[in-house]
Amino acid sequence: MSWIVSLPCTRDEAEALSGEVPELDALPEAPVIVTREIDEDMGLWQLDAYLDEKPGAALLELLQALIPSARRKKPQVEQLVEQDWVTLSQQGLEPVQAGRFFVHTSSYADRVPAGSVPFLIDASQAFGTGGHDTTAGCLAMLDRLARQGASPRNIADIGTGTGLLAFAAMHLWPRARTIASDIDPASIFVTRDNAAINGVPLGRSGGRLALAVAPGTDHPAIRHRAPYDLVIANILAGPLITLAPDIGAATAPGGNAILAGLIARQMEPVLAAYRAQGLRLAARGGSVEWPCLLFVKRRRYGYRRKERAFHRSNPADASFGSW
């Protein structure tokens, strides 16, 4: 059974927690910390700490000490009810082989092909089990990048769903710093569980996966780590276009962006949006109906123009995240 501790915080406090926190990292069983904005108009933020065991008084005091504005607030401690994320309509989900990766549910745990890299992702409330063409296309594109010799050191998975694409990137580049975000808190909870199942370590340092609840790139932890050598966004065409300035600014010159979630007839508007941000199309993968696009951000030489900020206080389309 899992537990969650919630405390109100300010945006500045959330940003301070986006880096390394030695007090938490030193704990034998450190909680997974997620900060999120709960009321944009009033500027209210919240810290959620996820634990496998009921928190003791010492941990509660430590969490409050990290948030000066909440010193007099009583932490909300809640036991999370076990939920069956697997729906009847998804129980028969077939495994997917994409590049070196083999993504399967529990029903196929004893049928992993020799030499493949398996991920156990049971069907859940979050999108991204691997069974959809867009997710499979992204896995194949990640595999292709690795075979071409790419070596990103800083990776962001925007709209992570189940965490699968972040897990795959971490397997390919185990020393990289990686962060996965989603607008849906349930997706981050699912990602946390899937990380434990697949042996993916959570944390803020290299080789560990950091988590954030965020609309697009609008989160202190995401901004704190930018720019990224590799950005992955498997969402929808509308949000991809809306986020083009933000993803473009978050991608380092010479870095890559893997975009998916669009259908073939939506490709031209997406291409135009990212070309306007200085990214060029380097490759197209995926299926005929569900393309997966690989972009490279052009390098700048000589005088460097000022970058625009890559977050928005009022995104035009807040529907991005898992679907």
CA-only gyration radius of the chain, Å: 19
Q: Which residues contact 253 (CB under 8 A, 6 or more apart)?
A: 227, 297, 298, 299, 300
Number of Cβ atoms within 10 Å of the Cβ of 246 = 26
At residue 220, φ and ψ (nearest 5 deg) are -55, -40
Give whole-number Cα distances, 170 to 157, 195, 296, in Å. 11, 11, 20
d(CA 47, CA 103): 32
**Which residue, 218, 187, 182, is CA-closest to 40?**
218
Tell me: is residue 194 an annotated ligand-binding position.
Answer: no
Tell me: is residue 182 an annotated ligand-binding position.
Answer: yes
Give whole-number Cα distances, 47 to 201, 218, 262, in Å. 21, 16, 33
Polymer length of the chain: 323
E strands in the chain: 2-9, 32-39, 44-51, 76-80, 96-98, 101-104, 117-120, 154-158, 177-182, 209-213, 228-234, 251-260, 279-286, 291-297
User: If residue 245 lies in a helix (H) or strand (E), which one and from where to where?
Assistant: helix 244-250
Tell me: is residue 135 an annotated ligand-binding position.
Answer: yes
**Cis previous bond, 227, omega within 30:** yes
In degrees, to the nearest 5, what angle opens at C-alpha 127 toward C-alphas 227 and 88?
165
DSSP type of residue 148: T
Sheet order of strands, 209-213 included? 209-213, 177-182, 154-158, 228-234, 251-260, 291-297, 279-286
Tell me: is residue 159 an annotated ligand-binding position.
Answer: yes
Binding residues: 135, 159, 182, 234
Binding residues for S-adenosyl-L-methionine: 135, 159, 182, 234
